[in-house]
Chain A
Amino acid sequence: SVNPMAYEAQFFGFTPQTCMLRVYIAFQDYLFEMMLVVESVILKKLDGFPNAKISAFQIRKSTEKFLLFMKEHFDKLFGKMEEVLLQLVLNIPKNVLLPEDKVHEQYPYTKEQFQALQDEIDQLQQRYKAEASAGQALLAEIEEQKTVQAELEKILQWFDGLENICRAHGTSNFKESFAFLTQNSKKLQGVLKDVEKKSK
């Protein structure tokens, strides 16, 4: 099974294996290119020695022989290098957490805990909305109370005004003065009757 080294890819922005593959292919290309250059240089030099009796085919054989040998060692050495680099350089140790994932260390919330947190937030929001509308209602009542109080105070002032008028005209207590008036008028009636009787 391939270890995709996803966490390393998250950090490096590429998969370590790809990086190594890219290096391997580049190195291998260089090796082949260099061999071709070596071969072409030798063939060119041989042009200067027509009696040397060394054919291009022979040179090609030599090139392949040397290249085969180099390739074997190259693959073996590269395998070792890749192993070391993937283990010690292009890898993220198991105990290491990348900075962008720190939050998972600080808040290892389970699904249930997360849901509970969201529920609590929803509930707080509902309660806040309820409080806010309750607050509106209270404010509305306070406004209404101001009007009502003003009306009631106006009525009380009206009564005060009434009583002040009375006081201003010498009758501070109506009850008594009516009673007094009634009494007086009864007396007057009595006197009136006497007068009428006497006058008859």
Chain B
Amino acid sequence: APGRGQLFAAVVDTFLEKLVAAGSYQRFANCYRDFYRLQPELTRSIYDQFVSQLQASIKEEIQEVKEEGNLEALFNSLDKIVEEAKEQEEPAWRPSGIPEEDVRSAMVPYLLKHRAYLRKVLKEKEEENRKLAEAVLAGRDRIAELQRLIQDRKQAWQAISKEQRELVLTFKE
């Protein structure tokens, strides 16, 4: 199928052709009948100039509109977009008119990324904390062990104090 750019040019050309065909020389001469009788050649050349000038102006205007609106590039890019969507049967999404709603979907991919990031760092943190917790528990056991060892040693020394007292007693005696 012809691209939008070609279609646009073809439609404008057709418009011009038909407009000129409608405003034919016969019609023109008929309207300016008296002058035509007086100067037929002149009438013809004035008509020809009128037509070519009108066509030139209209073509120039179209060119200007195309440049101003960057239409050529927009038509090509729209052709591509339409081509890509040709498999799409369903009517596509359109702005709902409620900006908050429409901007929501634009946020989703980034929120999903953010969620994935948070899940990842949470998992890492939980794993890290699990290891720390193990270390803390091990440390607590170690401290309990040390306290028990100290307790044993203390009791062992305290156990000596009975003999020590007896000894002191004998010395006193």
On whether the two chains bind one another, the answer is yes
Give me the interface of A with B, judged by CB distance under 8 Å: 6-7, 10-14, 19, 22-23, 26-27, 30-31, 33-35, 37-38, 41-42, 45-46, 49, 52, 54, 58-59, 62-63, 65-66, 69-70, 73-74, 77-78, 80-81, 84-85, 88-89, 92-99, 101, 103-109, 111, 114, 117-118, 120-121, 124-125, 127-128, 131-132, 134-135, 138-139, 141-142, 145-146, 148-149, 152-153, 155-156, 159, 174-175, 178-179, 181-182, 185-186, 189
Partner of A132, one of B31, B85, B94, B125: B125
Given A31-B54, A62-B35, A103-B105, the answer on whether A73 and B69 have CB atoms closer than 8 Å is no
B residues 1-41 touching A (CB-CB < 8 Å) = 4, 7-8, 11-12, 14-15, 18-19, 22-23, 27-28, 31-35, 38-39
* Best-buried of A6, A78, A175 by chain B (most CB within 10 Å): A175
B residues 95-148 touching A (CB-CB < 8 Å) = 95, 101-102, 104-109, 111-112, 114-115, 118-119, 121-122, 125-126, 128-129, 132-133, 135-136, 139-140, 142-143, 146-147
Given A89-B11, A145-B136, the answer on whether A178 and B170 have CB atoms closer than 8 Å is no
Do A42 and B32 have beta carbons less than 8 Å apart? yes
Chain B residues near A11 (CB, 8 Å)? 74, 78
Number of interface residues of B (CB under 8 A): 90
Query: How long is the Cα–Cα vector from A6 to B146 in the complex, in angstroms?
Result: 79
Chain B residues near A30 (CB, 8 Å)? 54, 57-58, 61
User: Which label, helix, strand, loop or mixed, suits the secondary structure of the B interface?
Assistant: helix
Do A120 and B7 have beta carbons less than 8 Å apart? no
Given A14-B69, A30-B58, A37-B53, the answer on whether A105 and B31 have CB atoms closer than 8 Å is no
Partner of B104, one of A89, A114, A132, A153: A114
* Best-buried of A38, A99, A108, A156 by chain B (most CB within 10 Å): A38
Do A109 and B108 have beta carbons less than 8 Å apart? yes
Do A54 and B105 have beta carbons less than 8 Å apart? no
Partner of A159, one of B115, B128, B150: B150
Counting residue pairs across A and B whose Cβ atoms lie within 8 Å, the total is 244
Q: Besides the contacts A12-B69, A97-B85, A105-B93, what 17 more A-B pairs have beta carbons closer than 8 Å?
A: A11-B74, A11-B78, A37-B53, A38-B47, A66-B32, A73-B18, A73-B22, A73-B23, A88-B4, A89-B4, A92-B82, A117-B108, A121-B114, A124-B119, A131-B129, A145-B142, A175-B156
Sampled A-B contacts (12; CB under 8 Å): A6-B95, A45-B35, A45-B46, A58-B34, A62-B32, A88-B4, A95-B88, A114-B107, A121-B111, A128-B125, A134-B129, A159-B150
Query: How long is the Cα–Cα vector from A88 to B90 in the complex, in angstroms?
Result: 19
Partner of B8, one of A13, A85, A118: A85
Do A181 and B19 have beta carbons less than 8 Å apart? no
User: In the complex, what residue of chain B is closest to A27 when comparing beta carbons?
Assistant: B58
Do B11 and A111 have beta carbons less than 8 Å apart? no
Query: How long is the Cα–Cα vector from A189 to B172 in the complex, in angstroms?
Result: 11
User: In the complex, what residue of chain B is closest to A179 when comparing beta carbons?
Assistant: B163
Query: How long is the Cα–Cα vector from A46 to B43 in the complex, in angstroms?
Result: 12
